Structure 1
Amino acid sequence: MIETDKGKIIDYKLGDVTGDGINDEVYIMSCAFNKCLNRHWLVVKEGNSERIFKYELTENNYNFEIFLVKFRHTNKLDIFIRSIGECFGGCVNGKIFTYDRENLKEIFNTNDFYKKNKLSAFYRDDYKVDVLNYERNKKYIVDIKENFKYYLDFVYYGDGKVKEGKDKANISSVWGCNLYYPMGSEVSNISIIQKVIGQASTDDICLIESILKWQDNSFRVIEQNVILKGAFINKNNRIKEISNKKDFFIDKRNCYENNLKGLNKYINDNEDFDSSITWYYLAILQFFEKDLIEALKSINMNLSFKHPYPSKERALTLKEEIEYSIKSNMFI
């Protein structure tokens, strides 16, 4: 990032976006020295004439990036801008601009895609989730019966019937917007990822990937797939045993955060059940066993209660430790 009196350069690329065979300069700019709050502009400087075009980006986002990509023609680059926004489940905003008759023209926006390609998801009896795309007349069925018993108990009765008022799952806005190069193609497609979210923002039932291609003067969905994270085959660990155990209770006077064997034994010796306590100690077990994503889901489930065990402050502290471990492992 470069900062001068004229502005702050967030990202910069060099390439032929005008189609005249001469490289042009493309920038994402912001105000210098924090003179304006989170305002960004797309700036194009023509390599041939050195004329400058400026377009304000209205999203109140961060982490702006530029990519110069052949989406429509092999002899001309389009401008792909990606940024991160604040929304439920996390979201990415993507825009594509083309240089048309000495003007910048927007030809794609993930917000428009989200509005026009609505997905719905519903819990169904027998531990199934239906994902529906009415626009494409498609239905996808996801089997979730391998999930933890205590997780499923939030949505289902013991006979596998959906509880009243618990039938709707959530769909994230655009969670990923990436380039997709088909084999042998000289132009790129777009890959849009959305999440089907269960009982917490970190609870991903599945991902929906939509592939878009430039056809008839617009980007159109040519393919849509469901991505599943899968379940372990014959996974022999303590967490799986807990999920199969009918009930258990952990006395509030006994805390074994620093003794995994003691915690396992104590859980095994008790039979009563308290949901908030269950999620807290499941998170601890998962944290010890390095199953960090599942640990984050469990502590979020604990925090969803009005009075999380053992307290909201301690539960949030555990969540911070889990999130820190996840971030640390990303760079190993």
Structure 2
Amino acid sequence: MKGKNMAEGKDYKIIDVKEGNILDEFSTDKVILRGTYPYENSAFAENLEIQIIPEKGEVITKKIPYSGYFLKLFLEDFTLNGRDEIMVRGSFGGSGNFAIATIYQYKDNMLKEIFSQDMFDKKYKFKARYLDDYKVEITSDQLKRKYIIDISSKDKSVLDIIYNSDGTVKKGVLPYVSSINEAFPVNYVYRDNYNLLTQQRIIGVSNADTIGVMESFIDFKDGDFKNFYSRATIMGQKYDNKMRMSVNYK
């Protein structure tokens, strides 16, 4: 399927196609993700839109306000309403490697966005700071939780940027938690609907310095989402045959 994008003067191209029961519990609807490619032989697409082609009735079109790489569709029931929601997954690209993770629900004869990386950032904020004695604290006011990570095994050249010789934190040095880098649909064996697992990097002295990862499990109900469980995980470290630890910053 092709269509002319009059605004850009370029042809729409199909990016991905899936089938699911979007409009009704027992319907079979074709879902098409399409957009334009400004560069030849590139995975980057823009001017995105979702088209729903039902077995009977008119085509439903929804413009998506994102552009990115490696875009694909995922159709499953997130809200436990017996119908599939439409998830668009992809990457914004760049050194931050931020994820496109947006979910649309068909309701009242239209598609409504019920989750996105931007909506998550506004609803749940994680703050990070260095503590004395080589630790990092991550807090969330919304979740009323804090997480502590020990970074004492990091390379001395990195620790010297952050800490004084007595182990106290130098002024003006702050870690931070990025926006969503990955988002994975997950299904527990005892549940009929899907949840979402998101990952955010905890970043230290540079973008290449990943201290750890914040993982959040998202549940959906009544067209809204809730972070029902979060945890801070550390990055694995390499070690040689003599069991001496060396930090892996990748």
Q: TM-score range by the shorter chain?
A: 0.7 to 0.9
Q: Give the whole-Å Cα distance in 1 for the aligned partners of 2:49 and 2:127.
A: 35
Q: Output one character per residue of 1:103-155: Cα deviation in whole Å (capped at 9) or x when no partner.
A: 11211112011112111111111000001111111110000001111111111
Q: Where in structure 2 are the equivalents of 1:10-159 lying within 5 Å?
A: 10-31=15-36, 38-49=46-57, 51-73=58-80, 75-86=82-93, 89-159=96-166
Q: Give the whole-Å Cα distance in 2 for the aligned partners of 1:170 and 1:88.
A: 15
**Matched pairs, number:** 240
Cα drift, residue 31 of structure 1: 3.6
Q: Could you say what secondary structure the match of 1:89 adopts?
A: coil
Asked whether the equivalents of residues 30 and 38 of structure 1 are also in contact (C-alpha less than 8 Å), the reply is yes
Asked whether the equivalents of residues 4 and 32 of structure 1 are also in contact (C-alpha less than 8 Å), the reply is no
State which of 212, 217, 224 in structure 1 corresponds to 2:218.
212
Who is 2:8 aligned against? none
Q: Could you say what secondary structure the match of 1:123 adopts?
A: strand
Q: Where in structure 2 are the equivalents of 1:175-190 lying within 5 Å?
A: 175-190=181-196
Cα drift, residue 92 of structure 1: 0.3
With over 3 angstroms needed to count, the CA separation of the structure-2 counterparts of 1:4 and 1:105, relative to structure 1, is closer
Who is 2:13 aligned against? 8
* Paired residue type of 1:28: L
With over 3 angstroms needed to count, the CA separation of the structure-2 counterparts of 1:54 and 1:237, relative to structure 1, is same
With over 3 angstroms needed to count, the CA separation of the structure-2 counterparts of 1:86 and 1:106, relative to structure 1, is same
Who is 1:316 aligned against? none
Q: Give the whole-Å Cα distance in 2 for the aligned partners of 1:123 and 1:158.
A: 15
Who is 2:176 aligned against? 170
Kindly indicate whether structure 1 or structure 2 has the higher relative contact order, using CA contacts under 8 Å at least 6 residues apart.
2
Q: Could you say what secondary structure the match of 1:152 adopts?
A: helix
State which structure, 1 or 2, has the greater radius of gyration over its C-alpha atoms: 1
Cα drift, residue 216 of structure 1: 4.4
Q: Output one character per residue of 1:192-250: Cα deviation in whole Å (capped at 9) or x when no partner.
A: 1111101121211110111111134411111111111244577638885xxxxxxxxxx
Asked whether the equivalents of residues 212 and 223 of structure 1 are also in contact (C-alpha less than 8 Å), the reply is yes
Asked whether the equivalents of residues 79 and 223 of structure 2 are also in contact (C-alpha less than 8 Å), the reply is no
Who is 2:228 aligned against? 222
What TM-score results when the alignment is normalised by the length of structure 1?
0.66
- Paired-residue identity, %: 26
Q: Could you say what secondary structure the match of 2:129 adopts?
A: strand
Q: Give the whole-Å Cα distance in 1 for the aligned partners of 2:144 and 2:95.
A: 26
Asked whether the equivalents of residues 41 and 54 of structure 1 are also in contact (C-alpha less than 8 Å), the reply is yes
Q: Give the whole-Å Cα distance in 1 for the aligned partners of 2:163 and 2:145.
A: 25
With over 3 angstroms needed to count, the CA separation of the structure-2 counterparts of 1:16 and 1:204, relative to structure 1, is same
**Structure 1 gap segments, 5+ residues each:** 241-290, 298-332
Cα drift, residue 68 of structure 1: 0.5
Asked whether the equivalents of residues 95 and 108 of structure 1 are also in contact (C-alpha less than 8 Å), the reply is yes
State which of 176, 197, 205 in structure 2 corresponds to 1:191.
197
| Higher helix content, 1 or 2 | 1
Q: Could you say what secondary structure the match of 2:119 adopts?
A: helix
Q: Where in structure 2 are the equivalents of 1:261-272 lying within 5 Å?
A: none
Asked whether the equivalents of residues 53 and 59 of structure 2 are also in contact (C-alpha less than 8 Å), the reply is yes
Q: Could you say what secondary structure the match of 1:174 adopts?
A: strand
| Higher strand content, 1 or 2 | 2
Could you list the structure 1 runs, at least 4 aligned residues long, displaced by more than 4 angstroms after superposition.
2-6, 232-235, 237-240
Q: Could you say what secondary structure the match of 1:182 adopts?
A: coil
Q: Give the whole-Å Cα distance in 2 for the aligned partners of 1:191 and 1:164.
A: 34
Who is 2:42 aligned against? none
Who is 1:285 aligned against? none
**Structure 2 gap segments, 5+ residues each:** 5-10, 40-44
Asked whether the equivalents of residues 37 and 46 of structure 2 are also in contact (C-alpha less than 8 Å), the reply is no
Q: Output one character per residue of 1:62-97: Cα deviation in whole Å (capped at 9) or x when no partner.
A: 221110011123631110111211466321021111
* Paired residue type of 1:208: M
What TM-score results when the alignment is normalised by the length of structure 2?
0.86
Q: Give the whole-Å Cα distance in 1 for the aligned partners of 2:160 and 2:38.
A: 52
Asked whether the equivalents of residues 90 and 172 of structure 1 are also in contact (C-alpha less than 8 Å), the reply is no
RMSD: 2.6
Q: Give the whole-Å Cα distance in 2 for the aligned partners of 1:207 and 1:134.
A: 18
